[in-house]
């Protein structure tokens, strides 16, 4: 019966991830045409019946903004085609860093995008490692917030590390770092970072013991890698043995990959919430979160707990 039918479709931002999710679910990826007109405008058409279906649209919203537009249009198309319930599955929720009015006359894009997604017709949202957890409250529909931590933890549990210190590269990363350190049985160090301008990180101090230790710098995302590289130089200058940079979302813009290549970073670990860039240097690892996402989709479909996946 269509009422119980689960269907997954995606936009161009997350096709590979959506295919992996569908493989775990044992379902074919739903057919949707997501293309461009010659002037660059987006065109979407869902190519199968979605009437009465429990529908999941997988699409990360990293730049360009057309990825967000594709998501909004897919939601709109499915709503107008009578899908029973639409869940926007947004592994990486972009535009999240502007989440408060911290300067005069700035836009709070994290709220703006939440409004666009709900107004387009999403009944619920499934996302992962939001830049700040309070963004959940910007949505007036149910939101399930997954953590990549179980995937990242099982990777690090299998690594040969010694006297590990988890390093929070700024105040915003402390909570995530503390819970990660607790689970790993590691110590925590904190970097005091300032941002004199957008995309410019200035490091002030390191709180905690790092000499002779393996340091895992943990953040929600790596964008220009300024934050991670500055922290890495500082940790090495304080005698850190190995420096591993780890983040859920590898945005990698503005020469980030070259910067990380040159920096004293022994390994860079991210997940595939954003597609893996081609020809990444050998020290980069990309962990797969598709199984976790597929479990969350199944639990939502069967009205079961999603928090059981946090462990
Ligand atoms: C900041 O609050 C975030 O958690 C990241 O530390 C930051 O966005 C990373 O940016 P970048 O790689 O450009 O320093």
What residue ranges do the domains of the chain occupy?
Answer: 2-147+290-309, 149-287
List pLDDT tens digits, range 170-225. 888 898 899 889 988 899 999 987 777 776 767 668 999 999 999 999 999 999 99
Determine the pLDDT at residue 170: 87
Determine the pLDDT at residue 296: 98
Contact in structure between 246 and 217 (CB atoms under 8 Å): yes
In the reported structure, the alpha carbon of residue 181 is separated from the centroid of ligand 1 by a whole-number distance in angstroms of 20
Pocket lined around ligand 1, Cβ cut-off 6 Å: 169-170, 172-173, 199, 201, 219-227
| Cis status, amide bond into 308, omega within 30 of 0 | no
* 161, two tokens: 């590390």
Average pLDDT over residues 104-110: 96
Q: How confident is the model at residue 2 (pLDDT cuts 50, 70, 90)?
A: low
**Which of 167, 211, 213 has its CA nearest to residue 191?**
167
Is domain 2-147+290-309 annotated with CATH 3.40.630.10? Answer: no
Determine the pLDDT at residue 104: 95
Q: How confident is the model at residue 232 (pLDDT cuts 50, 70, 90)?
A: very high
> Does position 4 have pLDDT exceeding 90, yes or no?
no
CB count in 10 Å sphere of residue 91: 30
Contacts of 238 (CB under 8 A, 6+ apart): 206, 210, 211
Q: How confident is the model at residue 11 (pLDDT cuts 50, 70, 90)?
A: very high
- Closest-CA residue, ligand 1 atom 5, reads 221
d(CA 267, CA 249): 15
Contact in structure between 120 and 157 (CB atoms under 8 Å): no
List pLDDT tens digits, range 266-281. 999 999 999 999 999 9
Can you tell me which atom of ligand 1 is nearest the CA of 251?
12
Q: Would you identify the CATH topology of the domain 149-287?
A: Rossmann fold (3.40.50)
List pLDDT tens digits, range 134-178. 999 999 999 999 999 999 999 988 776 668 999 999 888 898 899
Average pLDDT over residues 38-45: 97
Which of 170, 219, 228, 257 has most ligand 1 atoms within 8 Å of CB, for mutation?
Answer: 219
Q: Is 111 a catalytic residue?
A: no
Q: Please, what is the average pLDDT of the chain? A: 94
> Does position 94 have pLDDT exceeding 60, yes or no?
yes
Which member of 111, 193, 236, 295 is catalytic?
Answer: 193
pTM across the whole model = 0.94
Contact in structure between 92 and 128 (CB atoms under 8 Å): yes
Indicate if 149-287 has the same CATH topology as 2-147+290-309: yes
In the reported structure, the alpha carbon of residue 248 is separated from the centroid of ligand 1 by a whole-number distance in angstroms of 12
Contact in structure between 288 and 271 (CB atoms under 8 Å): yes
Average pLDDT over residues 257-262: 97
> Does position 33 have pLDDT exceeding 90, yes or no?
yes
Determine the pLDDT at residue 3: 62
Determine the pLDDT at residue 203: 65
Average pLDDT over residues 245-270: 97
Determine the pLDDT at residue 184: 86
Which of 202, 227, 247 has most ligand 1 atoms within 8 Å of CB, for mutation?
Answer: 227
């Amino acid at each position: 019966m269509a009422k119980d039918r689960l269907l997954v479709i995606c936009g161009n931002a997350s096709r590979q991830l959506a295919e992996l999710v569908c493989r775990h679910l044992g379902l074919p990826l739903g057919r949707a045409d997501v293309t461009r007109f010659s002037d660059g405008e987006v065109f979407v058409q869902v190519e199968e019946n979605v009437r009465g279906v429990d529908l999941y649209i997988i699409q990360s919203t990293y730049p360009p903004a057309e990825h967000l537009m594709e998501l909004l249009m897919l939601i709109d198309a499915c709503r107008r085609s009578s899908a029973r319930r639409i869940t926007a599955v947004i592994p990486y929720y972009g535009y999240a860093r502007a989440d408060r009015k911290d300067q005069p006359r700035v836009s709070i894009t994290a709220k703006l995008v939440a409004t666009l997604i709900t107004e387009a017709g999403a009944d619920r949202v499934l996302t992962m490692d939001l830049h700040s957890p309070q963004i959940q409250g910007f949505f007036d529909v149910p939101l399930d917030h997954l953590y990549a931590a179980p995937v990242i933890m099982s990777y690090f549990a299998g690594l040969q590390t010694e006297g590990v210190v988890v390093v929070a590269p700024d105040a915003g990363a402390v909570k995530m770092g503390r819970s990660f350190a607790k689970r790993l049985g590691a110590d925590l160090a904190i970097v005091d970072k300032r941002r004199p301008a957008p995309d410019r990180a200035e490091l002030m101090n390191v709180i905690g013991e790092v000499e002779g230790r393996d340091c895992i710098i943990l953040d929600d995302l790596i964008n220009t890698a300024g934050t991670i590289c500055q922290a890495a130089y500082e940790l090495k200058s304080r005698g850190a043995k190995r420096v591993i940079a780890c983040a859920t979302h590898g945005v990698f813009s503005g020469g980030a990959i070259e910067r990380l290549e040159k920096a004293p970073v022994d390994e860079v670990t991210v997940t595939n919430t954003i597609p893996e860039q081609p020809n990444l240097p050998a020290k980069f690892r990309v962990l797969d979160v598709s199984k976790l996402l597929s479990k969350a989709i199944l639990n939502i479909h069967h009205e079961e707990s999603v928090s059981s996946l946090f462990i």
